[in-house]
């Protein structure tokens, strides 16, 4: 997926379907049946910061939690690494 960011639903549909605020939508608690693609490196990361369902709040969770969420497909190399030139 040679992209910086991917979004697959219109804002209004995402907010209505999840019950979460735009900008705070998290993979934790998504509707059953929604696919969630996770880079394998996330599951190997000790702590991950994700949305909490409301914009001003975040959750800190263990990375291996993502492999146990409903609908998750862990894909090694899903996210590409980039370098930033200073």
Q: Judging by beta carbons within 10 Å of its beta carbon (0-12, 13-18, 19+), is residue 79 exposed, middle or buried?
A: middle
**Is the predicted pLDDT of residue 84 greater than 70, yes or no?**
no
pLDDT of 21-70, one tens digit each? 998 999 999 999 999 999 999 999 999 999 999 999 999 999 999 999 99
Specify whether the backbone of 13 is left (phi greater than 0), alpha (psi in -120 to 50) or beta. Answer: alpha
Identify the CATH homologous superfamily for domain 11-75. YbaK/aminoacyl-tRNA synthetase-associated domain (3.90.960.10)
Please, what sign has the CA dihedral across residues 79, 63, 40, 45? positive
Residue 5's pLDDT band, with cuts at 50, 70 and 90, is confident
Separation CA 30–CA 53 (nearest Å) = 10
What phi and psi, each to the nearest 5 degrees, are found at residue 47? -135, 140
Q: Please give the model's pTM, rounded to 2 decimal places.
A: 0.76
pLDDT at residue 7 greater than cutoff 70:
no
């Amino acid at each position: 997926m040679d992209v910086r960011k991917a979004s697959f639903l219109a804002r209004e549909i995402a907010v209505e379907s999840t019950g979460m605020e735009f900008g705070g939508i998290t993979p934790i608690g998504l509707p059953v049946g929604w696919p969630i693609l996770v880079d394998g490196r996330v599951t190997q990361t000790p702590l991950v910061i994700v949305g909490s369902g409301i914009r001003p709040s975040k959750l800190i969770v263990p990375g291996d939690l993502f492999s146990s969420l409903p609908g998750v497909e862990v894909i090694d190399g899903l996210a590409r690494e980039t370098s930033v030139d200073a």
